[in-house]
Amino acid sequence: MKHLYFLVRRSFQLVILIPLLTGCWSSRDIEKLDLLIGVGVDTAQEGNITSSYYGTDSLLTVTYQMAKIKSNQSQDTKKQEEKPYTNVEQTGASLIETARDIIQVRKNTVNGQHQRLIIISREVAENRSIREILDFFIREPEARMSMLVMITDGLAKDILGHMETDDIPSMHIYDITENFDKSNKLLERKSLAKINALMEAQSSFILQNVVQMDGELKLSGAAVIKGSTLKLIGFLKEEELKGINWITAQTDGAIVKVMEEDSDKPIIYEQEILKSKIIPTLKDGKLSFQVNVKSEGLIIEVATPTQDVAKEKNRRKIEEQIAEEVKKEIQTSLDRIQKDLQADVIGFHDYVRIKYPKFWKEHQSEWDSIFSEAPIDYEVKITITDFGLGIQK
């Protein structure tokens, strides 16, 4: 009887262990996969059209950037010097069409679970709704909603084909965006998930602009997407982007240069803490806004040899100089988005929706017009917390 009990127990244990012996049933050999890292979307050029059925206006040339998988770690020097990625271009009327056409030229299966970046050319973004371009990635089960979306003033394929970096261009650009907390010339990361929410709300927003400059890939300025059309309507320069970051307080990274009055030598302020508050006011059916910006930081560089800059009287004077410089940057940005582009890319509408929901519901459809006419006042308070080593207070 005891022997029978032992056999039954052992059989039961084996039954439990059998599913664990199957391993990862859905696994795929990595050497049989093309790992998609980035995608570039351009308007088709004449040389890319193989069928007369379509015209250039209705076709897209899509560049798929895939990482090279090295199966042999003992490759010779020549192999090691090869670029670590492969770019494949396909032209079609839709992204799904170009994606399926890859099957005809690649033996491996394209895997999009590692995709980091989508770059859309200016020409595409100006003439097509950005939703039309991103819809495929939003619906694709393998696509990562954390991938970033950017615009380029030139051709996306040229950005993805940049040869000056020994890294994969898509990864190189993605890694640069990690410096956002160190510079207010950069835009916060705009993931596919964030952009999808903004498109659903029909809100205007900005996307990072990436360019080739002096042989380098550079993140410079931003592209403005109109909420009502979801098309590109213009660009912001780096200085204009700085003003927006002062208002949104999304990054603590900022450098402000002012000149000492007596010596006309530069004094450099580095920000450490930034806070801002946007207050909407509705009076007699008219909207206005008050923006309060508070910044704390230190004097990181002083070109003048004098030790007098740390004295209380001079400290206050420098703080006022820095505040005036910040105000100029804010005003430059507001003039651009309010008067020129008439696009609320900062999100003033969210504060109105929360504080005055009835007004927002009645005037939501005409918000761009209301925003362009709304007075925006701002106050900037700068506090210097330290003058660095070698300068006595």
DSSP states of 107-168: SSEEE-TT--EEEEEHHHHHHS-HHHHHHHHHH-TTS-TT-EEEEESS-HHHHHT--S-SS-
The predicted structure's pLDDT at residue 74: 47
Q: How far apart are CA 291 and CA 274, in angstroms?
A: 13
Q: Which two tokens stand for residue 325?
A: 């410089």
| Domain's final residue, options 219, 236, 253 | 236
Residues in the chain: 393
Let me know if residue 263 belongs to a domain.
Answer: yes
How high is the pLDDT of residue 100?
87
- 386 and 270, same structural domain? yes
Are 260 and 292 within 8 A, CB to CB?
no
CA distance 388 to 72: 52
> Strand, helix or coil at 23?
coil
Domains contained in the chain, number: 2
Q: Which of 182, 217, 236 is the last residue of a domain?
A: 236
pLDDT in tens, the chain (393 residues): 555 555 556 666 655 655 555 555 455 565 667 789 999 999 997 665 555 444 556 899 999 999 987 655 444 544 555 788 999 999 999 999 998 888 888 877 778 788 999 999 999 999 999 999 999 999 988 888 999 999 999 999 999 998 776 789 999 999 999 999 899 999 999 999 999 999 999 999 999 999 999 889 999 999 999 999 999 999 999 999 999 999 999 888 899 999 987 777 899 999 999 999 999 999 999 999 999 999 999 999 887 765 677 788 888 999 999 999 999 999 999 999 999 999 999 999 999 999 999 999 999 999 989 999 999 999 999 999 988 755 555
Is 16 domain-assigned? no
Are 115 and 148 within 8 A, CB to CB? Answer: no
191 and 265 in a single domain? The answer is: no
pTM for this structure? 0.85
pLDDT at 107: 75
Residue 165 confidence (pLDDT): 64
- 102: in domain: yes
Q: Which residue range is the domain that position 275 belongs to?
A: 243-393
What count of other Cβ atoms lies within 10 Å of the Cβ of residue 74? 6
Comparing CA positions, the residue from 331, 359, 350 lying closest to residue 204 is: 350
Asked whether residue 367 is domain-assigned, the answer is yes
* pLDDT value of residue 239: 94
Does residue 253 share a domain with residue 229?
no
